[in-house]
């Protein structure tokens, strides 16, 4: 059982906070939530973790990342996306090995769980190696084949397609696990190839993840090459549905916002990466108003520099207050703290299609929990724990994390790996890849 001074229960957007609440866990799932005195009466004698001046929230969910790109962190800063890719993609082509991807993903998983993340999606190469790295830390990783025509592989497209189908067959969806198919974008995977991917996943329970309209230049290239904008190409291929996760979506037309919402597709909003690359600010307020699912992503560490989803949540809440979006002028009430927390938790679960299992603290759901210490001088006094979490707390305040009821962070440190050794391994990777 976990007892905390504040527990955010149910839909985080509704802002229901229990003072002195408790969560009882058995077999990896939440069995009871309520005031601590009630749960203690029912669960007398059960081992209890007591957390004073902590807020307990659902585990955070990262809906867009390239985790092993931490080995390239700092290699292409202060560039726009095109110039960034011109540096990073050649490095990847000559540097990636399964061992390096596993070690890098392990370090990324440490960074994520230390930031309160319990589930992350990934879009990278050498998928099995990445899974091993994440599993060693205890992070839940939803992943699968990433496809780029002419990417860092000597295989032909047909070979890549066949391998992707075999991988999906070997790892079907089960419970909270869903495989991911990741065509990089409509400017790196053509319409005919996208149509083949649509046929490949037809009838499979699978997430289709793709970059879309990250920059105006991308839109222009796709329009010139294929006669339509990226969303047109994707939709014509039969790949716009409730199982589609669109990364970035910075440069959308109003009609595209509506089409995404009507299709039930989700958007992974990556404000930190978009700002650093000068890609722009996604029309999140318009997407939300249209009824689209919008969640948060960190993107890769080579572009965003870190995997701190609490930082992403704060940046998003601030930038959408201070910028216009469509017909919306700057507005201090835009993207309030509770909505931002929802996007980082239940919104993320909805984007990944796992909301029946995760994203909120409710009986029957998987016990993915994050405890954040709100007692620091940069946070106190706490008048509203959700507001304090959104606007004052950072990853250094993450005290404990449980994934399916198993502790992966305790007293601010990883349980399953030697963090010092992981950092040394990541440092060596940086020295090897120049």
80-131 pLDDT per residue, tens: 888 988 888 888 888 899 999 999 999 999 999 999 999 999 999 999 999 9
Sign of the torsion angle spanned by Cα atoms 6, 10, 12, 13: negative
Burial label, 321 (beta-carbon count in 10 A; 0-12, 13-18, 19+): middle
Q: What CATH number does the domain containing 294 carry?
A: 3.20.20.140
Indicate whether 65 and 154 sit together in one domain: yes
Same domain, 87 and 203: yes
Would you call 90 exposed, middle or buried from its count of C-beta atoms within 10 A (0-12, 13-18, 19+)? exposed
What pLDDT is stored for residue 75 in this prediction? 80
**Are residues 152 and 252 both part of a single domain?**
yes
Going by the DSSP 8-state scheme, the letter that residue 102 receives in this structure is H
Same domain for 410 and 313, yes or no, is no
293 vs 278: CA distance, rounded Å: 24
- Is it true that the peptide bond before 209 is cis, omega within 30 degrees of 0? no
**CA-based nearest residue to 66, from 90, 92, 27, 99:** 92
Same domain membership, residue 108 and residue 182: yes
Cβ distance 374 to 388 under 8 Å? yes
Same domain, 74 and 98: yes
Residues 348 and 262 in one domain: yes
Contacts of 96 (CB under 8 A, 6+ apart): 68, 125, 126, 152
Quick one: 316 and 331 in the same domain?
yes
Task: Look at the chain and report how many structural domains it folds into.
Answer: 2
Residue 317 has pLDDT above 80, yes or no: yes
Q: Tell me what percent of the residues of the chain surpass a pLDDT of 70.
A: 99
Q: What is the pLDDT of residue 152?
A: 66
Same domain, 173 and 44: no
Q: Is residue 430 part of a domain?
A: no
89 closest CA partner among 246, 306, 403, 300: 300
Residue 270: pLDDT band by 50, 70, 90 thresholds?
A: very high
* Co-location of 225 and 369 in the same domain: no
Is there a single domain that holds both residue 91 and residue 102?
A: yes
The answer to pTM > 0.85 is yes
pLDDT band at residue 288 using 50, 70 and 90 as cut-offs: very high
Q: Which domain holds residue 297?
A: 60-352
Mean pLDDT of all residues in the chain? 95
The continuous run of DSSP H or E covering 30 comes out as: strand 29-35
Does residue 26 sit in the same domain as residue 68?
no
Q: Which residues contact 406 (CB under 8 A, 6 or more apart)?
A: 28, 138
């Amino acid at each position: 059982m976990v007892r905390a001074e504040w527990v955010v229960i149910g839909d985080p957007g509704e802002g229901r906070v229990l003072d002195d609440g408790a969560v009882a866990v058995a077999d990896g799932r939440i069995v009871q939530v309520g005031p601590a005195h009630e749960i203690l009466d029912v669960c007398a004698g059960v081992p209890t973790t007591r957390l004073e001046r902590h807020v307990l929230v659902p585990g955070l969910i990262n809906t867009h990342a390239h985790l092993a790109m931490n080995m390239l962190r700092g290699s292409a800063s202060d560039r726009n996306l095109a110039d960034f890719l011109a540096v990073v993609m050649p490095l990847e082509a000559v540097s990636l090995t399964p061992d390096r991807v596993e070690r890098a993903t392990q370090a990324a998983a440490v960074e994520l769980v230390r930031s309160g993340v319990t589930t992350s999606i990934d879009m990278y190469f050498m998928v099995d190696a990445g899974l091993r790295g994440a599993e060693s830390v205890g992070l839940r990783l939803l992943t699968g084949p990433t496809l780029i025509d002419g990417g860092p592989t000597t295989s032909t497209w047909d070979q890549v397609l066949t391998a992707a189908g075999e991988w999906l067959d070997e790892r079907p969806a089960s419970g909270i696990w869903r495989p991911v198919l990741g065509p990089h974008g409509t400017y790196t995977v053509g319409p005919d190839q996208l149509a083949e991917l649509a046929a490949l996943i037809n009838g499979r329970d699978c997430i289709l993840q793709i970059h879309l309209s990250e920059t105006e230049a991308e839109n222009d290239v796709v329009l010139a090459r294929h006669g339509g904008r990226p969303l047109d190409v994707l939709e014509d291929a039969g790949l716009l549905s409730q199982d589609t996760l669109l990364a970035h979506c910075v440069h959308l037309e109003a009609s595209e916002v509506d089409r995404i919402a009507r299709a039930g597709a989700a958007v992974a909003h990556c404000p930190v990466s978009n700002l650093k690359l000068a890609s722009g600010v996604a029309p999140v307020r318009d997407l939300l108003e249209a009824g689209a699912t919008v969640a948060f992503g960190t993107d890769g560490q080579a572009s965003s520099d870190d995997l701190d989803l609490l930082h992403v949540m704060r940046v998003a809440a601030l930038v959408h207050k201070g910028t216009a979006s469509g017909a919306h002028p700057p507005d201090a009430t835009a993207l309030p703290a509770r909505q931002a927390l929802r996007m980082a938790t239940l919104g993320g679960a909805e984007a990944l299609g796992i909301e029946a299992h995760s994203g909120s603290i409710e009986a029957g759901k998987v016990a993915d929990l994050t405890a954040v210490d709100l007692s620091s001088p940069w946070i106190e006094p706490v008048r509203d724990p959700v507001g304090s979490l959104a606007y004052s707390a950072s990853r250094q305040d993450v005290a404990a994390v449980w994934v399916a009821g198993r502790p992966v962070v305790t007293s601010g440190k990883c349980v399953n790996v030697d963090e010092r050794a992981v950092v040394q391994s990541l440092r060596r990777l940086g020295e090897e890849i120049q």
